[in-house]
Amino acid sequence: TRGGGGGGADITILYSHANAEDLGNIYPWCKFLSKTLRVNVFAYDYTGYGLASSEEPTEEDCYADIDAAYRYIRQVLGVPARNIVLYGRSLGSGPSCYLAARTADESGESTKEKSQDSNAGSGSDKKETEPVGGIILHAPFASVYRVVVETGCTLPGDKFPNIDFAQFIRSPLMLIHGTEDKIVPHEHSEQLLAAVNPNHRALPLFIEGMGHNNVHPLIRPLFVDRIGQFLREKVRGKIAGNDSSGKGVGWSTDVADLVARGCVASPIAMPHPLGHPPRMITAADQ
């Protein structure tokens, strides 16, 4: 259908990458997701990354960048909000949570302070109030300060307060995290899950023995199978008008069992970071 942005796919994933990545080295992964899940993938670089690396990255620029990408998908490609799924990995969970909250919160209070700079000069005062079709957070953090300091509140100067945005999210949310993540402990995903309205919690994927960067290359079959299940049950059901939004509970999978069943794939080959302009990978490209 045209609803997904072309290529015969009904879903467009807006992909926000991790910190030590750019469009050059995530391209093979995005292409794999597009081919395997039969979705379109729109990826972009943050200001300060890739070809825009001459500038210093900031939190506000990250919000402005995803705002610009989302406007392009909605206004130029003509993709309905319900056909868009936000995917944020690690650092990318910040702009993804921000956008999910901003598009869903009718009052605008959830992201009012954070978004005023990113929306400046956008050429449109129209408020987005239709929630996106879904959001996938892979190894997300509750906030930047909470990665290094245990605190029950958002401290002054904290960055990417995902935990504060979470309460405003009105889209199905899937969390993916390795239980042995030493960079962003998986407890951050548990905190985010608890902060989200129960009606919007999808079945999370917490994987025993996995770390921060080895989940998607090492257990790729399970990884894409669970994402496919999420898209099928939580997103495509709504697109078709058949909402199967049953509540899920956490579960984990032992990596040794995956090895025994032959489910472990070889790591994906990543080229040297090149830095490419934003691009759309459609299902028709495969």
* Crossing angle of the two packed helices 23-37 and 220-230, in degrees rounded to 10: 60
Largest CA distance in the chain: 55
Q: Are 34 and 282 in contact (CB under 8 A)?
A: yes
Is pLDDT at 262 greater than 50 in this prediction? Answer: no
| pLDDT at residue 240, as a whole number | 78
**Residue that the structure tokens 């970071």 belong to:** 273
Identify the CATH number of the domain in which residue 63 sits.
3.40.50.1820
Residue 192 domain boundaries: 2-285
Encode 10-35: b = buried (16+ Cβ within 10 Å), e = exposed.
Answer: bbbbbbbbbeebbbbbbbebbbbbbe
Nearest partner of 249 among 208, 204, 207, 206, judged by Cα: 204
pLDDT in tens, 180-217: 999 998 999 999 999 999 999 999 999 888 888 887 66
Backbone angles phi, psi at 45, to 5 degrees: -105, 145
Domain count for the chain, please give it. Answer: 1
Distance CA 104, CA 87 (A): 16
| pLDDT at residue 175, as a whole number | 96
Q: Which residues are catalytic?
A: 90, 181, 212
Encode 76-136 in three state secondary structure.
HCCCCHHHEEEEEEHHHHHHHHHHHHHHHCCCCCCCHHHHCCCCCCCCCCCCCCCCCCEEE
What is the rounded average pLDDT for all residues in the chain? 79
Is pLDDT at 142 greater than 50 in this prediction? Answer: yes
Q: What is the mean predicted confidence (pLDDT) over 28-33? A: 93
**Interacting residues of 63 by C-beta distance below 8 A, sequence separation 6+:** 95, 98, 99, 114, 115, 117, 118
pLDDT in tens, 123-138: 444 455 799 999 999 9
| pLDDT at residue 251, as a whole number | 31
Token pair of 214 as six digits: 């080895």
Query: Cα 95–74–105 angle (5° rounding)?
Result: 55
Least confident of 53-67, 159-173, 186-200, 249-263: 249-263
Is pLDDT at 270 greater than 50 in this prediction? Answer: no
3-state secondary structure of 4: helix
Banded model confidence at residue 22, pLDDT cuts 50, 70, 90 = very high
Query: Cα 151–152–158 angle (5° rounding)?
Result: 60
| pLDDT at residue 280, as a whole number | 66
Who has greater pLDDT, 245 or 94? 94
What share of the chain in percent tops pLDDT 90? 55
